Chain A
Amino acid sequence: MADEAGGLVIDPMHQFQIHPLFGEGPLTWYTPTNQTLWLGITVVVISILMLIGSAPRKVIPGRTQSITELLYTFIHDMVEEVTGHEGAKFFPYLMVLFTFIVTSNLLGLIPGSFAPTSHIAVTAVLALMVFLTVTLVGFYKKGIGFLGMFWVSSAPLVLRPILALIELISYFVRPLSHSIRLGGNIMAGHAVMKVFAGFAGVMGLASIVPIAAIAAIYGLELLVAVVQAYVFTILTCVYLRDAVGEAHH
């Protein structure tokens, strides 16, 4: 293996392959794959955590209850702070977004597992849901006045059409950047770890260096997993503020 002259032996992209759980065959939309399995595991883990955590309802919380309470207050404060009182009714949606993304990110870091959020197909659906929600809620709340978001009334009149064009483009680019930020970060982190694992395979005794680097990158990836979930949720809050809150231009 090590004396092959063809570069890396380990394919860093192999871990992202989707294959059917049972047997072989073409992938159709109803085929149970490893993606389906880990999405399901994520849902089950969240459900168990929340059910166990909210069952005791003690005044002095235990560990599991503390986790769920901290999670709840963290998201609730964030929604209240960013979207204001009006946006607080979207709290359940944002809570689901954050817990789902953070859990699937962290479960994906278990060696040998699969991170559903590393696929842009998954994150694109999440981001498109956010985009549709924001657009529909905006038009529902403000009517045609929602389009005033693109007409920056504080700018000079000559600049306004140009700014409107830029705002329009940036509005439609939102789901793209929103989804690729999450998917790209998770995918790149996993691929980097695999590349370093490839180094460890060919360096003999000096492979202690890449192994130490993998440990360090793993710590960084734990941080990235939580921060990217936080960023995804807070950007959703910011977008929702455009739809429900006061115009801030």
Chain B
Amino acid sequence: MTGDLIQFALMGKYIGAGLATMGLGGAGIGVGTIAGNFLSGALRNPSAAPGQMANLFVGIAFAEALGIFSFLIALLLMFAV
């Protein structure tokens, strides 16, 4: 009976880890929005584009950070819980 319970808890852990990875999809949307908007802006004004590369990468990094937290939750569920 306790074996069943442990199996059940394990199932919840793996399902939870899988669900947590869905947060990375949000990071993907954010990074895509930033890169796409940068590209459309850069095509309108190509001469201003190189000066904004740093801002592009910083924006991508900040958008990615929030997705990374869900990745962290997945890792914690897999290896720490």
Contact = CB atoms under 8 A, between A and B. Distances in A.
Contacts of A184: 68, 71-72, 75
B58 interface: yes
Contacts of A234: 54, 57-58, 61
A218 interface: no
A180 B58 contact: no
B68 A230 contact: no
B42 interface: no
A81 B54 contact: yes
Contacts of A227: 57
B34 to A, nearest CB: 13
Interface in A167-202: 173, 176-177, 180-181, 184, 188
Contacts of B14: none
Interface of B: 54, 57-58, 60-61, 64-65, 68-69, 71-72, 75
Contacts of A173: 65
Interface string A12-53: 000000000000000000000000000000000000000000
Interface string A212-249: 00000000000000010011001100100000000000
A245 to B, nearest CB: 14
B71 A230 contact: no
B54 A78 contact: yes
A88 interface: no
Interface in A144-183: 173, 176-177, 180-181
Contact of B72 (A82, A180, A231, A238): A180
27 contacts: A78-B54, A81-B54, A176-B69, A177-B65, A177-B68, A177-B69, A180-B68, A180-B69, A180-B71, A180-B72, A181-B61, A181-B64, A181-B65, A184-B68, A184-B71, A184-B72, A188-B71, A227-B57, A230-B57, A231-B57, A231-B58, A231-B60, A231-B61, A234-B58, A234-B61, A235-B61, A238-B58
Contacts of A231: 57-58, 60-61
Contacts of A181: 61, 64-65, 68
B50 to A, nearest CB: 11
A196 B55 CA distance: 34
A82 B56 CA distance: 13
Contacts of A176: 69, 72
A82 B68 contact: no
B72 to A, nearest CB: 6
A73 B64 CA distance: 28
Contacts of A235: 58, 61
Contacts of B54: 78, 81-82, 234
Nearest to A230: B57
A78 B55 CA distance: 11
A231 B71 CA distance: 18
